[in-house]
Structure 1
Amino acid sequence: MSNTVHSAAPVSPSSLTVVGSINLDITATASRLPSPGETVGGAVLRQQPGGKGANQAVAAARLAGSSRMVGAVGQDDAGRSLLDAMAAAGVDISSVARVDEATGTALVLVDSDGENQIVVCPGANASVSLDAVTFRELEAVLCQLEVDQDVVLEAARATKGFFALNAAPAAPIIPELLERCDLVIVNETEYELIPALKNAPLVAVTYGGEGSAIFVDGERAAEAPAVRVTDIANTIGAGDAFCAALVLALQAGLERVHALAVANAVGADAVRDSSSQPALQTLEHYIEATRPSLAAGSAATR
């Protein structure tokens, strides 16, 4: 395993296009999650922007200054508010369609430790289309599996630059889609649930408090420890922020160990924020903030 610290200055992070889901998150925060058939009282209810696609697009915009979202929302108040929220964060929403179905909705239960249970009602996300959407020559594209996998495959075929897939929620992946992925990102549970990933060319796996790793053809090639967080507010958007950060960091020219460290630091900031679309620093901030720990780790292995 290489622990080399990349000393050359990376190029400026490019913008990222995200193809995926846009949801209204209706969240109930309680002291604990209910067991089947049980009612837990005293919860606090709130509504906020969500959807794995939108979360990743907003994170990318906050890290890199801009991003583009390809998706669909309904002709309803929820759709309008979600578009406004993305635009305010710096996301180009010109490729988000307004369709007749209701805007996608996620029902979220969160406990005092930030653990969650989520039920997703796709709504307009089932109508995501790439009609009239084009991808530039060197454009990086990030997808998830909250929209129809045929649409994701179409995006992979159309991508001329770097194509990344956050294979969540876990599902069998169309073989051609997996072949077209430059990078697949999953958590440790998803990694076990999708056996085909064991032989994929490049897979990043998150392990919560144990950090993250990159596997090349099934062999662990790089890893980075987690950033310790004691003030966890919400874990829902952390994985999405990690995905956006990792793609941007790799596209910015960072070596894999440093890119993982940057993504881990972004994920740590995300769990400290109660929003599924948390406030973040710039990618350059995280790149510089993680250099000392990388240098220390490199010295310790010599």
Structure 2
Amino acid sequence: MARVLVTGAVGFIGFHLSKALLENGHDVIGVDNVNSYYDPSLKEARLANIESMLAPSQSFHFYREDITDKAALNAVFQNHEPEIVVNLAAQAGVRYSIEAPQQYIDTNVSGFQNILDACKDYKVKHLLYASSSSVYGNSRTTPFLSSDPVDHPVSMYAATKRMNELMAHVYSNMFGINTTGLRFFTVYGPWGRPDMAPMKFAKSIMEGMPIDVYNNGQHWRDFTYIDDIVNGIMGLLDTLPKPSTQERPNTAEAPFEIFNIGAKKPVHLLSFIECMEVNLGKKAIKNMLPMQPGDVSSTYADVTPLHEKTGYTPTTPLDEGVKRFVNWYNEYYK
């Protein structure tokens, strides 16, 4: 069992990952600034949920710190000497990155620099970090391969996530740090973010308000249930990246790898809305809108490398995932 530091520990993915780590016997050090990008009470509820499920044998230490605060971050590393770090702290949201690009530079780039430095200075065995399917931009080649060129991001959010991958490669190359990038594809499920489509759709449908449907509904998304995302991360914790070999000539010469974690099954947006309607027992009022700046028309993950390395296979079909989400939504929001 390992000491695992999770940044963004009471964010959507961080919360579920922290619980899975604890259930599997790991010691977890959580870091989160619990900011107000979306309702902090949801983050506080996630934290309370983690603390309420702790058994006497489980170790969970939580710090309300920001990864942009280098001194505070270093103090956490010094106190706990984590063996594995999973960096999920980031300024999220594609559309918000149009309004507040500096926030993305500060957190996603400068904050990640602090993570890399701490991993170097405190000899961390393995750094895993959140990237995003948004790095593929409006690629017309599907499914998206982790080896595809990703040189044309269409949002500042995507640009900062690609920057994380490049920064990680530099540190892997210069200092031998084992780094693994995780390109997540449209994550959904219980305890999700209020700014994401499933939560926004559920709230508006239940209140009888219109939902905004961008690109006139002609989006395709590789909706991936949160448990499948967490299983993908867990499978990589102790699986260190390999430098290039004669068998892998087009890969990095450093201990650096990047994987897609998705459902490998794109869903038409209108089909997703229909599934929401069935489970909520109420029809949506659709406000059809054009494509939004920074958005992409489709996402589709090729997960073959992850499957070959860890046996990863997504197991949650859309109807079951949406059902679980709606059940949680109704219970949490009464």
Shared fold (TM-score, shorter chain, > 0.5): no
TM-score bucket (shorter structure): 0.3 to 0.5
From the two aligned structures, give the one with the greater strand fraction: 1
From the two aligned structures, give the one with the greater helix fraction: 2
TM-score, normalised to structure 2, is: 0.38
